[in-house]
Homo-oligomer: A and B are copies of this chain.
Amino acid sequence: MRIISADSGAALLNDRFDATSIVAASAVLVDSPYRLAKRCIAEPIFSRIADSHELIVHELELCQELLKETGADVVHLDMSFGGLSMEELSPIQLANISGKARGYLLKMLPKLRKMAAEIKRAYGVEVLAIGKDSVPVRIAELTAGAHAILYSAEMVVAEKMTMRLGLPSKCYARKVESGIVLHSLAPAEHDIAGFAADDKRTLEKVAFSELINPCARGFRALEFTPNSNLVE
């Protein structure tokens, strides 16, 4: 079963470790054995946290874009409604959700259902609201996080600034020859990861060190500084 999924991930953190903006979004194509993306698209978003409830629409657009390129059997969206088809998801199913979150979802729902219907018509593929149960959503999150590291590094180099990047839940970053891997540290996900290719060799131009986010158990962060050894 070939699955396309998307997620946004990694957040800039201020001095008090509050998230201020979401850095990247990514869509992935995942196939058996469902450990890594077979194909992905990613982009920097640097979206304010306050606007993050709107990202779900953009995530579905990224799925649509990847679907056009590669095709798939099903789309997994990062909304947790037990795997219900987006076309069947009505305001009634949102009744259990508390106050503000429900308001945002109700606002997004018509747009999301319309897009899901288009995807069904154009590609014959269902969009499922499976969220936290989906491994492809997790791989999309890790892939977005890996790209967020590259985008942050680029900004650090361009602006000669320091930066603190909060990684997605339960993962750690490992630099490899060709880019950066974000390995899951969640239980039973030891072989699940996201990858971003560092084609521009940006990671050679920054130094980064890992720390624990003290205000959010299970979350790690990276602190970036321009590489002082670098002669420019």
Contact = CB atoms under 8 A, between A and B. Distances in A.
Interface in A45-94: 76, 83
Q: Could you say how many copies of this chain the assembly holds?
A: 3
Interface stretch (A102-110, A154-162, A212-220): A212-220
A6 to B, nearest CB: 15
B83 A215 contact: yes
Contacts of A209: 33
A35 interface: yes
B170 A212 contact: no
Interface stretch (A112-120, A133-141, A144-152, A196-204): A133-141
B188 A136 contact: no
Nearest to A170: B188
A114 to B, nearest CB: 25
A181 B102 CA distance: 45
Interface in A181-224: 185-192, 209-220
Nearest to A192: B212
A33 B223 CA distance: 10
Nearest to A191: B212
Given A1-B17, A17-B1, A209-B33, A214 B171 contact: no
B134 A212 contact: no
A5 to B, nearest CB: 9
Interface pairs A-B: 9 shortest CB-CB: A33-B211, A34-B212, A185-B188, A170-B188, A34-B214, A135-B214, A188-B218, A170-B187, A32-B211
Given A186-B187, A191-B212, A192-B212, 18 more contacts: A33-B210, A33-B211, A34-B212, A34-B214, A35-B212, A83-B215, A130-B215, A133-B215, A133-B216, A134-B215, A134-B217, A135-B214, A170-B188, A171-B188, A185-B188, A186-B218, A188-B218, A188-B220
